[in-house]
Chains A and B, each alone.
Chain A
Amino acid sequence: METKLREGKGSVALRKSEPLRIRTELKAIIYLIPFLVPFAVFYLWPVLRGAWMSLHVWGIQGMEKYVAVANYKKIFANSDFYLYLWHSLYFVLLCAPTVIILGLVLALIINQNIWMRTLIRSVFFLPYVLSVSVISFIWLRLFDAKNGPVNAFLHLIGLPGDINWLTDHRFVWWAITIATDWWTVGFVMVLFLAGLQEIPTDQYEAAKIDGANAWKRFLHITLPGLSKVMKIQIFYQIISSLKLFGQVQIMTGGGPGDTTNTMIRYIYVTGFKKDMFGLASAQSMIFCFIMLLIAVIQFKMTDRKDG
């Protein structure tokens, strides 16, 4: 009763202030301005500007001429584009599943009552706070074919320890995946841990009484309980894998040959090494489009679940 009364009062107040609407709006919008100014200049404007630039021949000196969709035609006619797009997708296929499975395994281990639990959790998470250049430097040397510890270790356990990790096209993507997994798995683990803590323990108790074994409990309680975090993680990992740049730029420079050139490195080389800003903008627009497509799919999927 009381709440109803209060609601009634609120709406009356709102109706009363209607003539002053513009003032109410401005009084609120002024709080958004500090954020909106840099947001408009360094996000909204570049997005629109990029679309405009992609229709031009554009050098580092500025606009040269309007060419309509010629840049896009050029990109789609060039086999490099499909190759680099495939490389980016290939990395998604390697990195996203491995990092999610490994993160889940680590979270399940840490969620048990093990020795030195906090310390071990910190160790798993620690690499995540390092910058991409530090982790790339470390793994660049760890994977060194002659003096690297990775090959030394393989040698020690009796495997052929003479793999050219970063210069052999069969191994280079695995090398980058291993480095990336080591770097980011702690983040995945922390999110799964938060998800695990939200699963009520009485469900496990009940399942135990019903005689469900550990595997069944994992399949029927843990996994469904983590579905929300899992969904967020899958999309997050797809997007961050598509954005791959630092690791390949530092560890391989896109090599051997073109093997590890990705979408972002393609844009970087076209724009900043070849000074073709217009063409690179068109490539960026295609990349934007892919990102938006993923966002739409994600939105649709989470929407259906809530409804």
Chain B
Amino acid sequence: MNKTLLNIIAIVLAILFVFPLIWMLLVSLKPDGVNVYSLSDWVNWSDLNIDNYVKVVRDSHILRWTWNSLVIGILTTVISILFSSLAAFAFSKLPFRTRGIFYVIIVSGLLIPTEAILIPLYETALHLKLIDNIWAIILPGLTNPIGILLLKSFMDGVPKDYIEAAQIDGSRNFRLWWSICLPLTRSAMVSVGIFFFILSWNNFLWPYLSITSEENMILSAGLPTFLSNNTMSLNLIMTASAIAAIPTIIVFILLQRHIVQGVSMSGVKG
């Protein structure tokens, strides 16, 4: 195909893709009630100001939600990675007879999504007095078996000689994991970790159900409350979206190589 034509198509598509985000930012900076409809609204930057941001931050819990999302994301990711790594180590390096059975049980976790067990999950959380508690989001977040699958395939690549040499030196299993397998799979752990963090940060349905008070919400589940709040105009809703989106966009720009790698690695397996 003609090279120039291909370049033009790519650029036009890229502009179309980025348009909604630029529009969101522009509207979020326009005074309340001012629309961005015609071309003249686009080029008129004289009325841009950050009043909407001040207002949203002052009148809602949005900063609190961002903080909650961050704390929950980090806790879920770190705990998940450690637990997955331990299990992956057992499956990859320890000879035991019931390995097959346990592997099947754990991999079965890929079959049924949270959406299909919402009601009993809610009932379980209710019994454990977890409703409206951040652990109601974190604990079910630790059940994703994809981390075990991925980390196992990387640990399978750790040479047997290393393990055997350490065993001869008298290392116990825990040391084999901590000082050989863990450091050697560090880059895989970063990729899986980023994937887990994105999942947690963007998790919507379960936090939306299990968190009932406004100050305990996370960002993705808290945003829709702006819709039921009639005092929020079009521009303020875009400001709230922008506040939620900007940290994600910045992190994406900084870590995009790792993010793309992590996502494609997990996607190929899943």
**Interface on A for B, CB 8 Å cutoff?**
14, 21, 24-25, 27-29, 31-32, 34-36, 38-39, 41-47, 49-50, 53, 106, 109-110, 112, 114-116, 119-134, 137-139, 141-142, 144, 147, 149, 152, 182, 187, 190-191, 193-194, 214, 229, 232, 236, 239, 243, 245-246, 249-250, 264, 267-268, 271-272, 277, 280-281, 284, 287-288, 291-292, 295
Contact = CB atoms under 8 A, between A and B. Distances in A.
Contacts of A121: 260
Given A139-B20, A291-B111, A46 B120 contact: yes
Contact of A29 (B102, B221, B237): B102
B260 to A, nearest CB: 6
B116 interface: yes
A205 to B, nearest CB: 18
28 contacts: A28-B96, A38-B139, A39-B109, A43-B109, A43-B143, A46-B124, A106-B13, A121-B260, A125-B260, A126-B252, A127-B21, A129-B259, A130-B245, A131-B223, A133-B221, A133-B244, A147-B35, A182-B17, A190-B263, A191-B264, A236-B270, A245-B205, A249-B208, A267-B115, A268-B118, A284-B117, A288-B112, A288-B116
Given A109-B10, A132-B204, A42 B90 contact: no
B220 interface: yes
The 5 A-B residue pairs with the shortest CB-CB distance in the complex, in nearest-first order: A31-B90, A28-B96, A131-B220, A46-B120, A50-B120
B24 A138 contact: yes
A249 B6 contact: no
Contacts of A44: 105
B224 interface: yes
A43 B119 CA distance: 12
Interface stretch (B49-57, B79-87, B183-191): B79-87
B87 to A, nearest CB: 5
Given A47-B120, A129-B198, A291-B112, A138 B87 contact: no
B139 A42 contact: yes
- In the complex, which range does the number of interface residues on chain B fall in? 35 or more
A190 B267 contact: yes
**Chief secondary structure at chain A's binding surface:** helix
A166 B202 CA distance: 24
Contacts, number: 266
A132 B220 contact: yes
**Chief secondary structure at chain B's binding surface:** helix
B6 A109 contact: yes
B106 interface: yes
B98 interface: yes
Contacts of A110: 10
Which of B177, B251, B259, B260 has the most chain A CB within a 10 Å cutoff?
A: B260
B72 interface: no
B83 A35 contact: yes
B27 to A, nearest CB: 7
A115 B94 CA distance: 50
A249 B112 contact: no
B234 A133 contact: no
B116 A137 contact: no
Contact of A137 (B89, B110, B238, B253): B238
Contacts of A246: 204-205
A190 B256 CA distance: 12
Contacts of A128: 263
